[in-house]
Structure 1
Amino acid sequence: MNSPQLQRGVFLALLAVVTVAFFWVLMPFFGAVLWGVSLAILFTPLYKWLLRKMPGKHNAAALSTLAICLFIVILPLTMIGVSLVQEVTQVTQKIRSGQINFAAYFQQILNAMPQSLRSIFDRFALGDMEAWQTRISAGAAQGSQLIASQALTIGQNTFDFLVSFFVMLYLLYFLVRDGASLSKTMREAVPLAQPHTEYLLNKFTTVIRATVKGNVAVAIAQGTIGGLAFWFLGVQGALLWAVLMAFLSLLPAVGAALIWAPVAVYFLATGHFWQGGVLIFVGVFVIGLVDNILRPVLVGKDTQMPDYIVLMSTIGGMAIFGINGFVIGPVIAALFMAAWSLFVASHKLEVPPKA
């Protein structure tokens, strides 16, 4: 009854149960763990450089790395977030007061269209401005009621965010300091051949580093350029649109154009030809080039994945996991391709040569 096979089976079952239970316990801090691991992978080269400057002082090097990460990543994001909240409040007030009237903007575009296009809009009842205005007003009212009724929930979410933020910082410190030993332990614990384990772990770290570094750099560049263009052209809420362009730039090829293209169409339709021309030039030849040049260099080159795989995995990841999906999606796709390439390579080795 107490055979070695039974003992091994019970042990493997116990191992599976406690592993699932451990991940279940960590699920409330999934985002904190993900970003702690991602930032640790991104800033480990900096930690190693600091450790060479201060030999043997692991704690000091880790604390210095954490301070630099706070200074160049987290604090700027916090400041942008505070400014964004103020900008959203101002834009919301202007929409309610009528200073920003999307229905009127749409009406101006319709008036500039040829009669054939306007008849198509009228046929599908898309040109009824009173109906659009009613829908927008009703949506704004429902949004205000929702925010008012969920004030306690928003406060609770803020508290949860702060807790997750400090968990991420705490985890980041230890991952930076002890990352090498943890990586070695993982390589020894995974029940795979050592070359396969090292290949998959290297692919995992490379994809996370390339995805975070590349996508964030592209988002910052596109959002900054688009926001400056909107500010120069006098578009209201330039910071809000800049943040939206930065967020949408996580979608390769089409992201930022979802914001600047309608504004350019509005400028052209209302007779502001030089503003529309400037915005189209900036969108196509500056923002577009940033996406077409910077993203393949920082993301596609390191991940060694085709652009269409990066696009589909990013969109699919964000659809399933939210904002965290722009990291998780490409990582899953890269590990999928790496695992199958290892399987094909090992299968070829197992095939005996023909006589």
Structure 2
Amino acid sequence: MKARTAFAAILVGVLAVLSLLVVRPFLDYLLAAMLLAFVLTPAQRRLAPEIGSKVSAFALVGLTVLLFVGPIGLLLRVALESLNDLPTSASELPTFESVERVAERTLGVQLSGQFDRLVEGVTGIVAQQSSGIASASVHAFLGVLLLLFLLYYLLEDGDTLVRWTKSVTPLPRAVQDELYAEAEDATWAVLKGHVFVATVQGFVSGLGLFALGIPDAAFWTVVMMFLAMVPIVGVAPVLGGGVIYLAVNGRFLEGALLFVYGMTVVAITDDYLRALVIDKESSLHSGVVLMGVFGAAYFLGAIGIFVGPIILALFKATIEVFTEYYDLG
């Protein structure tokens, strides 16, 4: 009997490692699909009895595509425009000729052609990396397709997956039910406290950029929505850059207005929303959130900004459930 148990454990362990290796190249897309399915499941449960589970799942996936295509398309457009505007020679750089003349008079060195070779070298390096960029683009395209398919099936068969997981988990059903409930509460607390609040804060900050005519304000608004999820950092880099931009262009009054707007309206929005939507008993400490964001972003990439704090929140909830049920304290 012990030999059978050992063999079963080894077999399961080997298959688990192989499964992880299979999933690893697209792990970030898998986690994104799971997170989106968690958020959309309440809507799926409402719509499925009315229009059918398949139709409702397909509709929610379509809605997700529409909501994400806009911001991603905006980012790509701005990025492509920035690439097209890159100079191919030093003579195309703004105020290059005057800077070159001043440097030659100051240093007494002939710099003609040096900057041209430098800029052309940088451009050549970018061209050499084109194959890597193409490969990354193919990987991202396949990952997005996988994400959409997984999202559809998680919405349609998510409850079946949860029931199967509970049936094979070697824990009493009461423990599992409490663990799932705590995990759901912790995940919603993180989503509401850090994703929703960051989205609103980034949007409110973007209104200030639009009002004062900052270039590419829509792009920087999307950037601030992501930066607002990072504790300590927040939207300050973009708003501070906006203030500097206005001051450099001689628009001192508008720069002062943007500074005051960030210190009052944006700050109050952040504090008020966090106090309104976060249950203080289930929220994580800011230091834990910071560790989750930075650590998971390093390990998982961009999706780690969302998943990192949730993983730590789930760990905290698991410890609390086990401590209560098994009297580990």
When the two structures are superposed, what TM-score results if normalisation uses the length of structure 2? Answer: 0.80
Specify whether residues 223 and 90 from structure 1 end up closer, same or farther in structure 2 by C-alpha distance, changes over 3 A only.
farther
AA at the equivalent of 1:49 = R
2:77 corresponding residue in structure 1: 83
In the alignment, the residues of structure 2 paired with residue 288 and residue 144 of structure 1 have an alpha-carbon distance, to the nearest angstrom, of 41
Q: C-alpha displacement at 1:91, in angstroms? A: 6.2
1:254 corresponding residue in structure 2: 233
- 8 A Cα contact 1:215 1:299, kept in partner: no
1:199 corresponding residue in structure 2: 178
Between the aligned residues of both structures, percent identity stands at 24
AA at the equivalent of 1:40 = A
AA at the equivalent of 2:255 = G
Greater mean deviation of Cα atoms: 326-335 or 222-231: 222-231
1:133 corresponding residue in structure 2: none
Specify whether residues 291 and 175 from structure 1 end up closer, same or farther in structure 2 by C-alpha distance, changes over 3 A only.
same
Q: Could you tell me which runs of 5 or more consecutive residues in structure 2 were left unpaired when the two chains were aligned.
A: 100-114
2:285 corresponding residue in structure 1: 306
Greater mean deviation of Cα atoms: 304-313 or 140-149: 140-149
AA at the equivalent of 2:163 = K
- 8 A Cα contact 2:30 2:150, kept in partner: yes
1:35 corresponding residue in structure 2: 32
1:70 corresponding residue in structure 2: 65
1:332 corresponding residue in structure 2: 311
Specify whether residues 312 and 343 from structure 1 end up closer, same or farther in structure 2 by C-alpha distance, changes over 3 A only.
same
2:129 corresponding residue in structure 1: 150
Specify whether residues 91 and 197 from structure 1 end up closer, same or farther in structure 2 by C-alpha distance, changes over 3 A only.
farther
AA at the equivalent of 2:71 = L
- 8 A Cα contact 1:252 1:291, kept in partner: no
1:245 aligns with 2:194: no
In the alignment, the residues of structure 2 paired with residue 68 and residue 287 of structure 1 have an alpha-carbon distance, to the nearest angstrom, of 29
Greater mean deviation of Cα atoms: 252-261 or 223-232: 223-232
- Secondary structure of the residue aligned to 2:62 is helix
- 8 A Cα contact 1:87 1:237, kept in partner: no
Specify whether residues 273 and 322 from structure 1 end up closer, same or farther in structure 2 by C-alpha distance, changes over 3 A only.
same
Deviations along 1:27-47, whole A, 9 cap, x unmatched?
111122111111111101111
In the alignment, the residues of structure 1 paired with residue 197 and residue 117 of structure 2 have an alpha-carbon distance, to the nearest angstrom, of 36
1:119 corresponding residue in structure 2: none
AA at the equivalent of 2:55 = A
Q: C-alpha displacement at 1:144, in angstroms? A: 3.4
AA at the equivalent of 1:11 = A
* Residue of structure 1 aligned with 2:3, choices 6, 9, 13: 6
Specify whether residues 29 and 139 from structure 1 end up closer, same or farther in structure 2 by C-alpha distance, changes over 3 A only.
farther
* Residue of structure 2 aligned with 1:60, choices 50, 55, 61: 55
In the alignment, the residues of structure 2 paired with residue 146 and residue 285 of structure 1 have an alpha-carbon distance, to the nearest angstrom, of 45
In the alignment, the residues of structure 1 paired with residue 220 and residue 116 of structure 2 have an alpha-carbon distance, to the nearest angstrom, of 21
Q: C-alpha displacement at 1:170, in angstroms? A: 0.8
- Aligned positions of 1:158-177 closer than 5 A: 158-177=137-156
Q: C-alpha displacement at 1:303, in angstroms? A: 4.5
Specify whether residues 69 and 303 from structure 1 end up closer, same or farther in structure 2 by C-alpha distance, changes over 3 A only.
farther
Specify whether residues 13 and 168 from structure 1 end up closer, same or farther in structure 2 by C-alpha distance, changes over 3 A only.
same
In the alignment, the residues of structure 1 paired with residue 68 and residue 281 of structure 2 have an alpha-carbon distance, to the nearest angstrom, of 25
Specify whether residues 215 and 341 from structure 1 end up closer, same or farther in structure 2 by C-alpha distance, changes over 3 A only.
closer
When the two structures are superposed, what TM-score results if normalisation uses the length of structure 1? Answer: 0.75
- Secondary structure of the residue aligned to 2:42 is helix
* Residue of structure 1 aligned with 2:202, choices 216, 219, 223: 223
In the alignment, the residues of structure 2 paired with residue 233 and residue 94 of structure 1 have an alpha-carbon distance, to the nearest angstrom, of 32
2:19 corresponding residue in structure 1: 22
Specify whether residues 270 and 39 from structure 1 end up closer, same or farther in structure 2 by C-alpha distance, changes over 3 A only.
closer
Q: When the two structures are aligned, how many residues end up with a matched partner?
A: 311
AA at the equivalent of 1:25 = V
- 8 A Cα contact 2:198 2:226, kept in partner: yes
AA at the equivalent of 1:273 = F
- 8 A Cα contact 1:253 1:292, kept in partner: no
Deviations along 1:110-148, whole A, 9 cap, x unmatched?
xxxxxxxxxxxxxxxxxxxxxxxxxx9999766533321
1:127 corresponding residue in structure 2: none
Deviations along 1:335-355, whole A, 9 cap, x unmatched?
2222322343245x478xxxx
In the alignment, the residues of structure 2 paired with residue 41 and residue 316 of structure 1 have an alpha-carbon distance, to the nearest angstrom, of 22
